[in-house]
């Protein structure tokens, strides 16, 4: 490209980001939490103090103290290590599921809106039908059909997230289609494909990114909820939903740490993704509200 | 075209528009059972101990050896008369199981929705009026926290706080104190039945037990409803027609309630239709956590027991509920906003 | 109560500021003016002058981030600022408002009649039963036809002009003494504009209403106001009788503003201040010589465009009609945007298409630019039948670069993700693929210079630039591929008058230097007169007349054209001779 005309974009973006973070301190916290969590999750097998599956029947149901920061469960496993390893599993599931649904959903929705006509209406109808079902129930049924495995949870979560991306991509692209700069691009000699990739998708990305963020939150929630009710991942695998389920039975006997720590970790993770999404949405609203 | 005929035309168009949707729903649930593991004939046979001959006979009776399109047609015929098969676990017809358990879920979901609206709309308005202030941020944060907590986490935490620690609510089992006598079932909705029978202690007992599960279901939807109320209110407050109303000297009530709120609540109405879906999904988990005898726990237990006819019936029922609610929302919207009535 | 001879409204040293991202912004900086009872005062200024903000602040209608810093406002002797509630009490009853964008200013879910009744009942003097009757009276007063029927109509069912009339009715409901009109006719057709302003003027005269007319259109102010105040950057530059201010002003800003307003008898360079005229007074064209006695560059024959053709079989027709509530018949129905229009352009021609909204002029321009397919007719460009090439594949043909378009919305026609450089480069990359990077850069810079765009700003994004700069990027983008035919779709209608003066001059200079042909589409006859040699008047998709510009203006043959010309709020003839 041209050296002289490198944009003033970077400094402008940095200034804007600083202003938004100042206004939304909570989003700033979320922004720090997510990378920290990701780092912990990735390094979990190496930094966990205990083997998450190792039982120790001498130290059963001990409260948080000393070596066991989060206490031990009913067969003596260290709750902290299990929470850490569960983070890795849940995040991996969420990221795979959302990546899948983002790519496929955006392509389908974008293409539908782009070509218009019958395919567009058909895809709209199909998405509507899919969304009539409480999506959690759809996930339940899928996991039951496909068997209890990580792959089935990823697939089920992807399918459940898919209609949101399709709908969003469709609405974004169809709004962009009628913008004057798209018409101008045609006058400039751009082919329809070039318009899609150079003009439409870059302008649709901000809104889609918000959906990715909240989608990650939902995917984690989904996976945990499925395991909680007994579908998908089964014990003794360390997963937040399972841990809360096992802990719930013990909570009424007073052993609160079994359920509360994984529940807190789960909530904080989903919360961070949602706050990130909210913060991003605020930034985008400001930019489009000229 | 008179106003009234315009409205009726819209209603008819909308109702007819649900037909392809319902068709799609039917096809999907049909596929669902075919996809679930196991032999469909076994589900509809008389019991889990059916012999091979019995199963083969059931298969021919049910037409499961016929080509798929014929099966599909037969399926539609069955569901249109309300024949949803039979549950292996309860041994009863799925349709009667669902009819029996539906009021419990309906009562729970309805109260939860009411609770959610009572909280989210005023909070959303407050956040909008004080946009940008710390109140606004706090309200939005609490809302997001609610939506980030999975239903089961919220349920477990609430039970821990309200029942175990504070002892404010009764045990989370069933809809009413097991030692109390239930009032005669007129509507199936315990609260109303209690009131109708004039049985106040029973009313209070069922209300107390309804509170936690309803609250759990409510916090999941408070965030989207509140966010939409806030955004909509902000947009309306800065709109041109509010400025005209103020410039014309209209009073506070006229400007902010008649002109402002009525316009602002329209998108909220649409949002209600949309969040019903997530409520119905959360319903399953909440009913499990609180041992609530509704259709959600019925479906879940059936699924875990590999009893698939109830699951199919449940999914069908839930989809229909969603369609009914959204159609009602659309029609209500059209009654208020004339712009959507034109083709 | 006002005593004899004292002002109805008196503003002294008013200052208003706003909370914005970078800090507080001064919108109004020490404004003083006064209006006598029954008088019409015009406040004239370009965008950013603070004229609307000042008006809103008088009755406490500022947005929540605005604040009155200092000043006094006395209405009928009473101080409005200071104690809360006084301004609110005066709203609607003493001082009434009408706004820009009339349809947006009405409650979309309430019928028009009900809204007028709300305004009437606010005054408090009328009972519920009587308010319906009074509403009907008011609607008839503002010349709404079939008022009784229209009472139950909703804003989206009425035209912009009718919505504005409803707003005027609402404003008059409480019998105010002062009416503040903030750009009441912007966005409306010129003929509708005249009707609305005449109605306002009449009503004002009849009821003894004082009017404060806020506008950017000097011609409008000249025609309807007895006194004018000129505002710039939050301050009042000068105030005085209309003729004094417009003809004999001593202030540079006012002179510049008046000079930049296109009107009868002025040439393009007259629009600019004297110091800047030299650059554009190029008499001899250089560059490409005009093609002498060549075949027409563009030939359009009997072109038509119909949207939404649908054929319904007879058995379904009745059913569809009942459902859709429309007359859906057996044969094709649809919106006839353009009907049977023909035109012919010689090389180097300057052609104008003028019409109001719904005239089909934009559709025409899109078809000629091959962005839209015609339903019928032939289009020939430099001998090639381009009408036969579908618009979806035209972008790939080598002819694409020879016909370029400058669009109406300066900001909306630019990709928000492209810098100015990238925006101008894009068509060049598409048409000449093998160009080395340094040649590309050269061409972009040259195009920017031709359009008058500062090359130091090429790294900026559209939202970081002013409206005028955005418009220039659009022009540069069209020029970079060296087209033969340029289609200009209302290129300056979104710009301030002084910026428009410069841009129009630039376009004219370019046309002479490069030997371009252009088609200028506009609703503004004055601009067409300055920029074009021939003009076609369109109405409801048909060509009304097509002739030389001078003939159209001096001897229009069609009554519609006459109506159009008469509706232009023009500056009084006496100003024509002044060459400041």
Contact assignment for B24 to A129 by CB distance below 8 Å: yes
C88 to chain B: closest CA residue: B249
Q: Does C96 touch chain B (CB under 8 A)?
A: yes
Distance CA A138, CA A156 (A): 8
Non-local CB neighbours of B285 within 8 Å, separated by 6+ positions: A136, A225, A228, A229, B150, B151, B152, B155, B296
What is the C-alpha to C-alpha distance for residues B156 and A251, in angstroms, rounded to an integer? 8
pLDDT for A226-240, tens place per residue? 888 888 788 888 888
Return mean pLDDT, chain C. Answer: 85
**What is the rounded average pLDDT for all residues in chain B?**
84
The alpha carbon of residue C304 is apart from the nearest alpha carbon of chain A, in Å, by 21
* pLDDT tens profile B233-279: 999 988 999 999 999 988 888 899 889 999 999 999 999 988 888 88
ipTM: 0.82
Average pLDDT over residues B336-341: 86
DSSP A149-161: SHHHHHHHHHHHH
Question: Who has greater pLDDT, C93 or A101?
Answer: A101
User: Are residues C213 and C224 in contact, defined by beta-carbon separation less than 8 angstroms?
Assistant: yes
Cβ(C561)–Cβ(C536) below 8 Å = no
Q: pLDDT class for B28, splitting at 50, 70, 90?
A: confident
DSSP string computed for C264-308: TT--GGGGS-GGGSGGG---S--SSPP-TTPPPSEEEEEEEEEEE
Nearest CA-CA distance, residue B16 and chain C, Å: 11
Strands C485-489 and C403-406: parallel
* Residue indicated by tokens 């539908």: A112
Contact A12 C463 (CB under 8 A): no
Residues within 8 A of C (CB atoms), B 251-310 only: 251, 254, 259, 262-263, 266
Q: Lowest-pLDDT range, B12-16, B237-241, C235-239, C570-574?
A: C570-574
Q: What tokens does B235 get? A: 């947009």
Inter-chain CB proximity C88 and B262 less than 8 Å: no
pLDDT in the model for residue A68: 77
Contact C415/A199, CB-based, under 8 Å? yes
Strand residue runs (E) in C409-503: 485-489
pLDDT given for residue A290 in this prediction:
36
Q: Closest partner residue to A230 among B150, B278, B304, by Cβ?
A: B304
- The answer to whether residue C172 scores a pLDDT higher than 70 is yes
C326 falls in which pLDDT band (50, 70, 90)? very low
pTM over 0.80: yes
CA distance from start to end of chain B: 13
Structure tokens at A200: 């439409």
Six-digit token pair at B206? Answer: 């069922």
Tell which residue, C62, C49, C86, C359, has the closest CA to residue C215. Answer: C49
Q: pLDDT tens for residues C413-465?
A: 999 989 999 999 999 999 888 889 899 999 999 999 989 898 889 988 898 88
How many residues are recorded in chain A? 290
Nearest Cα neighbor of C406 from C279, C270, C506 is C506
Instruction: Give the whole-number percent of chain B exceeding pLDDT 70.
Output: 91
Q: How far is CA C131 from each of CA B276, C166, C335, rounded to the nearest angstrom?
A: 43, 15, 40
At B266 the pLDDT is 92
Residue with the two structure tokens 């780092």? A39
Q: Which residue of C has its CA nearest to A180?
A: C413
Query: Do B233 and B128 meet the contact criterion of CB atoms below 8 Å apart?
Result: yes
Q: What average pLDDT score do residues C317-337 get? A: 52
pLDDT of amino acid C579: 35
Nearest to B250 among C96, C122, C326 (CB): C122
Instruction: Report the residue from A9, A188, A190 with minimal CB separation from C477.
Output: A188
What residues are paired with C95 via a beta bridge? C91, C178
Residue ranges of B 28-87 with Cβ closer than 8 A to chain C = none
Which CB contacts under 8 angstroms, 24+ apart, belong to A197-203? A198/C415, A198/C426, A199/C415, A199/C417, A200/A110, A200/A114, A200/A173, A200/A176, A201/A110, A202/C417, A203/A172, A203/A176, A203/C415, A203/C416, A203/C417
Sheet holding C485-489, edge to edge: C403-406, C485-489, C517-522, C350-354, C534-539, C542-548
Instruction: Say if residue A254's pLDDT is above 60.
Output: yes
pLDDT band for position B50 (50/70/90)?
A: low
Q: Calculate how close chain C gets to A113, using CA atoms only, in Å.
A: 16
* Chain A environment of B311 (Cβ under 8 Å): 141, 144
């Amino acid at each position: 490209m041209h050296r002289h005309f490198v944009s003033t974009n970077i400094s402008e973006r940095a200034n804007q980001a600083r202003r938004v973070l100042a206004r939304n301190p909570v989003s700033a916290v979320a922004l720090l939490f997510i990378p920290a969590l990701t780092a912990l999750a990735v390094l979990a097998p190496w930094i966990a103090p205990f083997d998450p599956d190792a039982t120790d029947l001498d130290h059963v149901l001990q409260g948080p103290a000393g070596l066991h920061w989060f206490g031990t469960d009913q067969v003596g496993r260290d709750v902290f290590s299990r929470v850490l390893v569960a983070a890795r599993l849940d995040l991996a599931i969420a990221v795979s599921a959302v990546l899948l649904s983002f790519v496929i959903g955006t392509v389908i929705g974008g293409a539908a809106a782009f070509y218009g006509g019958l395919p567009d209406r058909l895809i709209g109808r199909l998405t509507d039908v899919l969304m009539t079902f409480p999506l959690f129930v759809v996930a339940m049924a899928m996991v039951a059909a496909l068997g209890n495995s990580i792959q089935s949870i990823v697939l089920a979560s992807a399918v459940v997230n898919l209609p949101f991306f399709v709908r969003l991509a469709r609405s974004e692209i169809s709004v962009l289609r009628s913008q004057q700069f798209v018409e101008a691009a045609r006058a400039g000699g751009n082919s329809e494909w070039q318009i899609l990739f150079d003009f439409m998708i870059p302008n649709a990305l901000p809104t889609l990114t918000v959906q990715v963020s909240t989608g990650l939150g939902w995917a984690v929630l989904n996976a945990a909820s499925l395991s909680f009710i007994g579908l998908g991942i089964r014990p003794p695998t360390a997963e937040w939903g399972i841990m809360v389920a096992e802990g719930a039975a013990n909570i009424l006997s007073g052993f609160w740490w079994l359920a509360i720590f994984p529940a807190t970790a789960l909530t904080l993770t989903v919360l961070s993704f949602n706050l990130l999404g909210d913060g991003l949405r605020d930034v985008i609203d400001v930019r489009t509200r000229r | 075209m008179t106003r009234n005929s315009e409205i009726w035309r819209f209603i008819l168009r909308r109702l007819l528009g649900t037909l392809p949707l319902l068709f799609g729903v039917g096809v999907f649930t049909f596929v669902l059972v075919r996809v679930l593991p196991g032999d469909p004939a076994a589900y509809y046979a008389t019991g889990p101990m059916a012999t091979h001959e019995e199963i083969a006979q059931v298969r021919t009776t049910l037409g499961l050896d016929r080509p798929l399109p014929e099966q599909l047609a037969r399926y539609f015929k069955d569901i249109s008369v309300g024949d949803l098969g039979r549950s292996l676990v309860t041994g009863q017809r799925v349709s009667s199981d669902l009819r029996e358990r539906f009021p419990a879920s309906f009562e729970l979901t309805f109260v939860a929705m009411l609770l959610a609206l009572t909280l989210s709309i005023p909070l959303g308005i407050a956040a909008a009026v004080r946009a940008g202030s710390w109140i606004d941020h706090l309200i939005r944060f609490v809302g997001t926290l609610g939506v980030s907590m999975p239903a089961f986490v919220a349920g477990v935490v609430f039970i821990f706080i309200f029942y175990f620690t504070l002892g404010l609510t009764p045990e989370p089992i069933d809809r009413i104190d097991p030692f109390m006598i239930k009032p005669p079932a007129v509507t199936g909705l315990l609260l109303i039945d209690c009131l109708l029978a004039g049985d106040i202690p029973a009313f209070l007992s069922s209300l107390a037990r309804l509170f936690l599960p309803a609250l759990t279901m409510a916090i999941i939807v408070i965030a989207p409803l509140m966010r939409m109320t806030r955004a909509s209110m902000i947009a309306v407050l800065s709109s041109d027609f509010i400025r005209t109303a103020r410039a014309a000297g209209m009073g506070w009530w006229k400007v902010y309630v008649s002109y402002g709120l009525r316009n602002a609540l329209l998108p909220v109405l649409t949002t209600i239709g949309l969040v019903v879906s997530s409520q119905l999904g959360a319903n399953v988990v909440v009913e499990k956590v609180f041992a609530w005898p509704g259709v959600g726990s019925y479906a879940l237990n059936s699924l875990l027991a590999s009893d698939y006819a109830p699951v199919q019936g449940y999914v069908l029922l839930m989809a229909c509920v969603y369609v009914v609610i959204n159609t009602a929302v659309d029609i209500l919207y059209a009654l208020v906003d004339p712009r959507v009535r034109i083709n | 109560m006002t005593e004899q001879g004292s002002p109805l409204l008196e503003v002294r040293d008013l200052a208003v500021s706003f909370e914005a991202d970078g800090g507080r912004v001064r919108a109004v900086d020490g404004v003083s003016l006064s209006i006598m009872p029954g008088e019409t005062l015009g406040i004239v200024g370009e965008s950013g002058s603070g004229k609307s903000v000042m008006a809103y602040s008088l009755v406490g209608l500022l947005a929540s981030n605005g604040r009155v810093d200092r000043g006094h406002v006395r209405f009928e002797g009473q101080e409005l600022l200071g104690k809360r509630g006084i301004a609110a009490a005066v709203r609607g009853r003493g001082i009434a408002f009408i706004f820009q964008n009339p349809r947006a200013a009405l409650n979309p879910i309430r019928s028009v009649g009900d809204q007028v009744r709300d305004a009437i009942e606010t005054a408090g003097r009328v009972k519920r039963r009587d308010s319906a009757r009074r509403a009907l009276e008011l609607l008839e007063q503002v010349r709404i036809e079939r008022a009784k029927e229209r009472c139950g109509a909703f804003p989206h069912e009425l035209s912009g002009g009718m919505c504005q009339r409803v707003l005027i009715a609402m404003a008059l409901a409480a019998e105010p003494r002062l009416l503040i009109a903030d750009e009441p006719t912007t966005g409306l057709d010129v003929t509708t504009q005249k009707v609305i302003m005449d109605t306002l003027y009449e009503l004002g005269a009849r009821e003894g209403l004082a009017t404060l007319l806020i506008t950017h259109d000097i011609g409008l102010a000249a025609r309807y106001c007895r006194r004018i105040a000129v505002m710039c950057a939050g301050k009042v530059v000068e105030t005085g009788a209309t003729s004094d201010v417009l003809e004999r002003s001593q202030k540079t800003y006012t002179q510049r503003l008046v000079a930049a307003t296109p009107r009868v008898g002025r040439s393009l360079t007259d629009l600019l201040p004297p110091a800047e005229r030299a650059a554009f007074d190029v008499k001899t064209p250089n560059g490409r010589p005009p093609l002498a006695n060549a075949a027409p560059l563009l030939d359009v024959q009997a072109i038509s465009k119909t949207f939404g053709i649908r054929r319904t079989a007879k058995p379904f027709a009745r059913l569809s009609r009942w459902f859709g509530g429309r007359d859906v018949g057996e044969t094709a129905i649809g919106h006839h945007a353009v009907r049977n229009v023909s035109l012919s352009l010689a090389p180097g021609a300057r052609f104008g298409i003028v019409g109001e909204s719904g005239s089909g002029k934009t559709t025409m321009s899109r078809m000629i630019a091959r962005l839209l397919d015609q339903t019928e007719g032939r289009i020939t460009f430099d001998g090639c039948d381009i009408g036969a090439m579908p618009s979806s594949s035209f972008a790939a043909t080598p002819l694409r670069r020879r016909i370029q378009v400058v669009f109406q919305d300066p900001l909306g026609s630019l990709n928000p993700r492209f810098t100015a450089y990238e925006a101008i480069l894009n068509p060049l990359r598409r048409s000449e693929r093998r160009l080395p990077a340094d040649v590309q850069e050269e061409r972009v810079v040259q195009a920017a210079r031709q359009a008058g765009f500062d090359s130091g700003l090429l790294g900026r994004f559209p939202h970081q630039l002013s409206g005028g700069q955005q418009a220039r990027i659009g022009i540069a983008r069209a020029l970079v591929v060296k087209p033969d035919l340029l289609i200009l779709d209302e290129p300056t209608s979104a710009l301030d008058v002084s910026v428009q003066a410069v841009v129009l001059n630039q376009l004219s200079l370019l046309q002479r230097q490069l030997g371009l042909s252009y088609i200028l589409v506009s609703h503004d006859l004055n601009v067409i007169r300055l920029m074009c040699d021939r003009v076609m008047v369109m109405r409801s998709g048909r060509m009304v007349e097509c002739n030389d510009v001078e003939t159209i203006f001096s001897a229009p043959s069609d009554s519609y054209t006459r109506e159009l010309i008469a509706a232009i709020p023009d500056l009084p003839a006496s100003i024509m001779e002044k060459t400041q």
